[in-house]
Chains A and B, each alone.
Chain A
Amino acid sequence: MAESTHTAQEHTTLVRAIRWSDAFWIASGVPALLVFSVGYIAVLTGPVSVAIWIVSILIGIAMAFVYAEMAGMFPEKSGGPPVFGAQAWKRYFRPIAPLNIWGYWFAWSPVLAIGGLLMGSYVQREWASGQTWSLDWSPSADFGIHINFAYVVGAAILIGLFWLNHFGIKESAWMQTALAVTSLVPLALLIVVPIFQGKVHPSRLTPFETPNGNWWSWQTFTLIAAGLFVAAWSAYAFETAVVYSAEFRNPQQDTPKAIFAAGGLCLFFYGLGPFILYSVVGGEKIVEDPSTALVPLAETVFGTSGQFLIALLLVALLLSINTAILGSSRTLYQASKDAWTFRFLQRTSERGVPMRAMGFDVVFNLFLMMLGNPIYILAASTIGYMVFNSLNLIAGYLLRKDAPDAARPYRAPVTMLRLGIVLAAVNFMLLFVGAPSWGWKYVGLGWLIVLSGVAIYYFRRWSDERLAAGAPATDFRP
């Protein structure tokens, strides 16, 4: 009898099993996000892309001060900065809270789809070039549904990672450490070795201007905004280190350590990586295939060992996908616990893993991958990320205003909170000026998914009111 009661009991809590260093390794997939868009931004903005990445990572680090303070205030909450931001917004205008959270989730979750598709494309290009079959349905030239070899490989990877992560957060952190050491060391070598080989030619960055060749035009302004818009999706992303506050053994101390350590790692990769790529390979070579821009760099630096490096690049992509699946599932889990989204997502396994949230992530991305082109998925997803970053920086300011005396293990300098407001304005401007350069259809798709978070919140509220009144539960039941 006792056993059957135990079996019937449903778990809704996470386990405090990791330290800041574990979160650092989980977040170490973020440098690999550079691979996703470095080529496309180089094509769009030319040598100026190098400066765009530096600016973007510096903005990300400045924002980390605000997010670190916010995370320390809510040591019992998992799910990262949007969950903390929701606590600030809910007393001012409640729909902003789910918008903030859903925007963040939609920023992170598509890493699964984009990474899966990229891995599939790399595998096809290197080892299965004969697999050119494709099932397509395209209502217009730049928008359609595609199932091909890359999709099948990507889907298998997502399902495999879903299984591997069911063991628990500690086991996931070990796996991330192994993947990070395997992939980031070669990626770092790819950046450092050409300096000593004398293959870095800064002259390739001249003339230092966007492809349209005119600094003083609104088109240039829009191009730079478009570059900064998509770069943000990768360069700001180390904030994921604070997603695991509720799983830290000592959240007050672990939280700021985790985010600033991850920021330092990203400063190296994002500050130097695009510069090395452009000054070693040159713009003409990148234009040939922006989706695999690091391949010519690997071939130039390591010569014939190109295939080996592709394999390591695949591990780096696996690392970043796993960073995303771990983080975005926690965001969904906490959002569900806080009643911002579907109720069923708060259930955890006996090992304290939010399996339903993780499963939701995987299924959503199996559909998203059908869109085919990774950069367009990325652009749609960045809508969510910039909505979140704009709103959440304001939330950091609001929290200090509303509860100046609340316990804060880490207290950001007032200057950084004020700078946060300025950066909220910058992100807001990039959201509207930068996004359309990647295609209005994908901008529309991004907004549609982000705004659906508000509709889901109202559905959840209605469902909770029914449940409280004694009516049967109304929710998605997967």
Chain B
Amino acid sequence: MANELIHRHDESDPLGPDERWAHLEPMIAYMLFTGGVFTLAVWQTWAWVYIVGLALTLGWVLGFVLVRDRPERWYRW
């Protein structure tokens, strides 16, 4: 019974071998930083911090767009 409860890979994995197209840890750190910037903007109601936050968000999206022909990275990571 115990083995049944910890054995969880009885379904086929449609993703195949564990291969990554990018290292996303820097992207996650970038997102956390952006979230912090937005929090500061709302907390202090500083207009320029809002703008920085929006620019960082736009930059995050561009990280996907700019690598369309270089599938190995989110930006250069």
A binding-site residues for B, Cβ under 8 Å: 10, 12, 73-74, 76-77, 87-88, 91-93, 96, 218-219, 221-222, 337-339, 343, 346, 397-399, 401-403, 406-407, 418, 421-422, 425, 428-429, 431-433, 436-437, 464, 467-468, 473
Q: A91-B15, A339-B6 are in contact. Are A433 and B38 (CB under 8 A)?
A: yes
Q: Are B53 and A403 in contact (CB under 8 A)?
A: no
A346: chain B residues at CB < 8 Å are 5
Q: Are B24 and A433 in contact (CB under 8 A)?
A: no
Q: A91-B20, A221-B50 are in contact. Are A403 and B57 (CB under 8 A)?
A: no
Nearest to B64 among chain A residues (CB) is: A421
User: Considering the chains assembled together, what is the distance between the CA atoms of A34 and B24 in angstroms?
Assistant: 36
CB distance from B7 to the nearest CB of A (A): 10
Q: Are B41 and A433 in contact (CB under 8 A)?
A: yes
Q: Are B1 and A406 in contact (CB under 8 A)?
A: no
Q: Which of A218, A402, A429 contacts B21 (CB 8 A)?
A: A402
Q: Which of A92, A343, A436 contacts B39 (CB 8 A)?
A: A436
Nearest to B59 among chain A residues (CB) is: A425
**Interface size class for chain B?**
35 or more
B15: chain A residues at CB < 8 Å are 87-88, 91, 399, 402-403, 406
User: Considering the chains assembled together, what is the distance between the CA atoms of A468 and B3 in angstroms?
Assistant: 7
A219: chain B residues at CB < 8 Å are 45
User: Considering the chains assembled together, what is the distance between the CA atoms of A166 and B30 in angstroms?
Assistant: 45
Q: A91-B18, A91-B20, A403-B15 are in contact. Are A432 and B42 (CB under 8 A)?
A: yes
A339: chain B residues at CB < 8 Å are 6, 8
B binding-site residues for A, Cβ under 8 Å: 1-2, 4-6, 8, 11-16, 18-25, 28, 31, 34-35, 38-39, 41-43, 45, 47, 50, 53-54, 57-58, 60-61, 64-65, 71
User: Considering the chains assembled together, what is the distance between the CA atoms of A77 and B12 in angstroms?
Assistant: 11
User: Considering the chains assembled together, what is the distance between the CA atoms of A425 and B56 in angstroms?
Assistant: 10
Q: Which of A12, A397, A473 contacts B2 (CB 8 A)?
A: A473
In the complex, which of the residues A406, A407, A433, A464 has the most CB atoms of chain B within 10 Å of its own CB atom?
A433
Q: Are B14 and A407 in contact (CB under 8 A)?
A: yes
CB distance from A362 to the nearest CB of B (A): 23
CB distance from A143 to the nearest CB of B (A): 18
User: Considering the chains assembled together, what is the distance between the CA atoms of A425 and B63 in angstroms?
Assistant: 12
Q: Are A436 and B14 in contact (CB under 8 A)?
A: no
CB distance from B19 to the nearest CB of A (A): 7
Q: A421-B64, A467-B6, A473-B2 are in contact. Are A93 and B25 (CB under 8 A)?
A: yes
Nearest to A340 among chain B residues (CB) is: B8
User: Considering the chains assembled together, what is the distance between the CA atoms of A250 and B47 in angstroms?
Assistant: 52
Inter-chain CB contacts under 8 Å: number:
97
Q: A218-B50, A432-B35 are in contact. Are A467 and B61 (CB under 8 A)?
A: no
Main secondary structure of the interface of A (DSSP, over half): helix
A93: chain B residues at CB < 8 Å are 24-25, 28
Q: Are A429 and B57 in contact (CB under 8 A)?
A: yes
A73: chain B residues at CB < 8 Å are 14
Q: A218-B50, A401-B21 are in contact. Are A433 and B42 (CB under 8 A)?
A: yes
List 14 additional contacts besides A337-B8, A402-B15, A428-B57; criterion CB under 8 Å: A87-B15, A92-B22, A92-B25, A93-B25, A219-B45, A402-B20, A406-B15, A422-B61, A425-B60, A429-B38, A429-B57, A432-B38, A432-B42, A467-B6
Q: Are A428 and B8 in contact (CB under 8 A)?
A: no
Q: Which of B13, B47, B58 contacts A218 (CB 8 A)?
A: B47
A422: chain B residues at CB < 8 Å are 61
User: Considering the chains assembled together, what is the distance between the CA atoms of A429 and B41 in angstroms?
Assistant: 12
A429: chain B residues at CB < 8 Å are 38, 53-54, 57
A96: chain B residues at CB < 8 Å are 28
In the complex, which of the residues A402, A421, A432 has the most CB atoms of chain B within 10 Å of its own CB atom?
A432
A398: chain B residues at CB < 8 Å are 21
Q: Are A76 and B11 in contact (CB under 8 A)?
A: yes
Q: A346-B5, A433-B42 are in contact. Are A428 and B35 (CB under 8 A)?
A: yes
16 contacts between A and B (CB under 8 A): A73-B14, A88-B15, A91-B19, A92-B25, A218-B47, A397-B64, A402-B15, A403-B15, A425-B57, A425-B60, A432-B53, A433-B41, A436-B39, A467-B5, A473-B2, A473-B5
A-B interface, 6 closest residue pairs, ranked by CB to CB distance from nearest:
A432-B38, A406-B14, A76-B11, A92-B24, A403-B15, A401-B21
Nearest to A406 among chain B residues (CB) is: B14
User: Considering the chains assembled together, what is the distance between the CA atoms of A355 and B14 in angstroms?
Assistant: 29
User: Considering the chains assembled together, what is the distance between the CA atoms of A464 and B61 in angstroms?
Assistant: 38
Q: Are A428 and B20 in contact (CB under 8 A)?
A: no
CB distance from A76 to the nearest CB of B (A): 4
Q: Are A222 and B6 in contact (CB under 8 A)?
A: no
